[in-house]
Structure 1
Amino acid sequence: MNALPDRRLNAYRPDLAEEALRGTVTAERYVAGTPARVVQPVAALRPKPDSSAGIDTELLFGETVRVLDRANGWAWVKSDFDGYVGYLPEAALDTGTAAATHVVAVPRTFAYSGPDLKTPAAFALSVGSRLTAVGESETRGTRYLTLESGQSVVAGHCLSVGETAGDDYVAIAARFLETPYLWGGRSGFGLDCSALVQLSMMMTGRTAPRDSDMQAAGLGTPIERDALRRGDLVFWKGHVAIMEDEKTILHANGHTMSVAREGLDAAVERIGWLYQQPTGYRRP
C-alpha cells in the first residue's frame, strides 16, 4: 500500500483536494484553487482552522497563494513560494493581482504613512515581504517607495524583484543574530531553525524546503563531519544549524530562544543529552 502524500505540501481532505492530486488521493471533488495574496505583515499558517492550533509556518506580506476553500472566516491555502498547505484567516488575504516590484531586503523595516521617517509608522514589514511600488519620492536625501496602498517604505531597505542580496547566505543569516526564536516563525520578527536557512537562502536567490526534515532529506548533498566548512548544514532530529566557519554554527534555537552563534562541539555536547548526536551533514 502506497503511503499518502505529505500533508504539509499536498492539499487533500475527504471532501476536497487540489487538482494536481487527482488520481493520487480520493476526494469528493478537486479544485485548482484561486489566486490571492497576503495583506498582513505576517500571517500564521495553521494545520486546522482554529486560532488555538499551533503554527506550522508563516506567510509574509505580498506572498501569493492558491485558495482551495473558504469557510467560517478561514481560507485553506497552498503557498506559491514553498508549497506549504494550511489555514489562515480570510482577512489576511485579498485578491489583488498587481505584480510585486520590490522585496524587503533587511530583517525588519517600516511602512510609513507618508514619505518621511517622521510620519507615523503604519505597520512593520519583514525581510522577504513583497511590495508593489507605484512611485518614488525623496525627503531630506532619503528615497522612499510609494506603495499601492499609499504608505511609503525606505527604498534602501528593498531590492527590485529579481535582484539578490549577494551569494553569501551565511552573511545574511548572521544579520538575524538575537532575533527571537519562534516555533513555526518565518519572519524577521521571530523564526525557527529551518526558517533561518530558508529565508537566508531566499535572499540570495536560492530555494530551500521549509522544514528541517525536508532540508535534511534533499537540500544539497551529504558530506562527512570532517569536511564541514562555511555554508554547510548540520542536522539533528528536528533541528538544523548553519556552519559560519569550520568550528562555529549559527542557529535559531530554543536554548537561547534566539538566533545565536555557538561552537559546534559545544552545541553537539549540549544537544546530545536530549536529542542525541547529529543525524547528518549536507552542503547546499
Structure 2
Amino acid sequence: MKKRKGFIVLVLSFFALSILAFSPNEASASSKKKSAYVDVSVATLWTEPGLLRTLDAPSASNPVQLDEWINSMKYEDKLWLVGNLETQALYGSKVTILEERGKWVKVAVANQLTPRNEAGYPGWMPKGQVKTGKAFEQQFKKGFALVKAPKTWLYSDSKHRSKFMEISFDTRLPLLQVKKGKVKVMTPSNGAKWLDKKDVALYQDEKDIPVPTGKDIVQSGKEFLGLPYLWAGMSGFGFDCSGFTYTMYHANGVTIPRDSTVQAQQGKKVERKDLKSGDLLFFAYDEGKGKVHHVGMYIGDGKMIHSPNSSTHVRIDEIKTSGYGEEYAGARRYLD
C-alpha cells in the first residue's frame, strides 16, 4: 500500500493551526465534553436551536425522512436554508456534545475539519437524533463497512425481507459478519442490521482504504450527477458545493476541510495549466480576488463536476462557463 506522508503532514498541520486558535482553557474544556453518535440516517445541523419551519419536521425526527423533506421544498424554501444550516452528519458518525438546551444539543462532528472548533464542525441538532455511550464505538475494533453506493438499505433480517433504514454513501458502520453476499453491521441504538455486500467496501481500519487517484475521486462524483443541491448537504440525499468535494474525498479515505474557504487554503497550490483530475477549483467574489464562495472538482478537458446552488443539481460544466470563469481563484491538490 502507498504511504500517505503528504496527507498526514497536511492533517497534522491543520490541527496544529486549529489548536493554536484556542486558549488552553477552551481546549481543556472541550476535552471534557462527552461523545455521542448520530442515530439517524442523516442529521441536519442548524446555526441555532428551534429554527425549524413546519416543513422541516421530516429532517428533525427519528427516523428522518430526507427525501420527503427535500422533495417538499420549492426553490424559495431551499434558499431560506442558506445561513440557517451548518452541515450534516451521517448515521453512526461520532460527535462531541458541546452544549445542551432543552430538546437540542450543540455538537461538533468529528472528521469534518474546521478552524471553528478543534473537535469538529459545530452545529445544533435535536437531542433525539444522537445516542450517547461508548459501546457503539468499541464495535469498530472488528472493522467496518463503508457504503459505496449513492444510497442503500439497511435490513432487519439477513434475507432482506424487512427494510429498516435507507442510508447514504460514505456511511461507516461496525462490521460484525459477512454471509453469502450479505453484511451484518451494528447500529448506534437498534442492534444488528444487514446490508447488501455489493453496496459496501469492508476494511479493518481507516488506513486500509486504498490510496485513491484523482480519477477515482472523479468517478465517485459522477455517481451523483443530477442529484439536487442542498445547502449544508453532506449525503447521497443532497450536497452543497464543499459538502460534495469533502464527501468524495472522505469516502476514498482522504479527509479534507469541510468548507470551501478552508479547502482553498490547504493542500498544494496548482497552476491552471497543470490541473489534473481530482484537483479542487475555487471561485471568489470580485473577479476571483475576493472571498471564496464556491468549489468544484476538475475532471479534465477544461471541465469540472460540482454542486452549484439551490436552483440546480450536481452537474458538469466548463470552467470558463459564465458565472464561474471570470471568478476563478485558483486550484488545490490533495493527492500526491
Scaled by the length of structure 2, the TM-score of the pair is: 0.69
Q: Which moved more, 1:162-171 or 1:121-130?
A: 162-171
The one of 243, 246, 271 equivalent to 1:224 is 271
Q: 1:166 to 1:125 in 2, by over 3 A?
A: farther
Q: Which moved more, 1:33-42 or 1:250-259?
A: 250-259
Q: Taking every aligned residue pair, what percent have the same amino acid on both sides?
A: 27
2-structure distance, mates of 1:256, 1:229: 28
Is the CA contact (8 Å cut-off) linking 2:155 and 2:163 kept in structure 1? yes
Q: Which residue of 1 aligns with 2:60?
A: none
Counterparts of 1:76-95 in structure 2, within 5 Å, are 76-82=106-112, 83-95=120-132
The one of 95, 103, 112 equivalent to 1:73 is 103
The one of 165, 169, 172 equivalent to 1:130 is 172
Q: Which residue of 1 aligns with 2:246?
A: 198
Once the two structures are TM-superposed, the CA of residue 277 in structure 1 deviates from its matched residue by 1.6
- Structure 2 residue 237 is the aligned partner of structure 1 residue 178: no
- Structure 2 residue 156 is the aligned partner of structure 1 residue 109: no
What amino acid does structure 2 have at the position aligned with 1:257? T
Report Cα offsets for 1:114-161 as digits up to 9, x if no partner: 1224x23211101121212333433xxx32324352321112222234
The one of 274, 291, 302 equivalent to 1:247 is 302
2-structure distance, mates of 1:30, 1:147: 28
Once the two structures are TM-superposed, the CA of residue 232 in structure 1 deviates from its matched residue by 1.6
Counterparts of 1:58-69 in structure 2, within 5 Å, are 58-69=88-99
Once the two structures are TM-superposed, the CA of residue 31 in structure 1 deviates from its matched residue by 6.3
**Greater fraction helix:** 2
What amino acid does structure 2 have at the position aligned with 1:81? N
Counterparts of 1:1-284 in structure 2, within 5 Å, are 21-23=22-24, 32-52=32-52, 54-82=84-112, 83-97=120-134, 98-99=136-137, 100=140, 101-117=144-160, 119-138=161-180, 142-148=181-187, 149-161=191-203, 162=206, 163-164=208-209, 167=212, 168-218=216-266, 220-237=267-284, 238-254=293-309, 257-265=312-320, 267=321, 269-271=322-324, 276-284=326-334
What amino acid does structure 2 have at the position aligned with 1:195? G
Is the CA contact (8 Å cut-off) linking 1:36 and 1:94 kept in structure 2? yes
Query: What secondary structure does 2:328 align onto?
Result: coil
What amino acid does structure 1 have at the position aligned with 2:145? H
Query: What secondary structure does 1:132 align onto?
Result: strand
Is the CA contact (8 Å cut-off) linking 2:30 and 2:98 kept in structure 1? no
Q: 1:165 to 1:44 in 2, by over 3 A?
A: farther
Scaled by the length of structure 1, the TM-score of the pair is: 0.81
Q: 1:259 to 1:42 in 2, by over 3 A?
A: same
2-structure distance, mates of 1:39, 1:152: 16
Once the two structures are TM-superposed, the CA of residue 32 in structure 1 deviates from its matched residue by 2.2
What amino acid does structure 2 have at the position aligned with 1:87? W
Q: 1:21 to 1:56 in 2, by over 3 A?
A: same
2-structure distance, mates of 1:114, 1:124: 14
What amino acid does structure 2 have at the position aligned with 1:232? D
Report Cα offsets for 1:161-214 as digits up to 9, x if no partner: 424366121121111211211010000110011111111111221111111111
Query: What secondary structure does 1:85 align onto?
Result: strand
Aligned pairs, number: 257
Is the CA contact (8 Å cut-off) linking 1:165 and 1:204 kept in structure 2? yes
Report Cα offsets for 1:16-58 as digits up to 9, x if no partner: xx9x944477xxx776210111110000111111243721110
Is the CA contact (8 Å cut-off) linking 1:234 and 1:281 kept in structure 2? yes
Tell me how large the CA RMSD over aligned residues is: 2.7
2-structure distance, mates of 1:128, 1:165: 15
Query: What secondary structure does 2:35 align onto?
Result: strand
2-structure distance, mates of 1:129, 1:202: 10
Is the CA contact (8 Å cut-off) linking 2:282 and 2:329 kept in structure 1? yes
Is the CA contact (8 Å cut-off) linking 2:33 and 2:97 kept in structure 1? yes
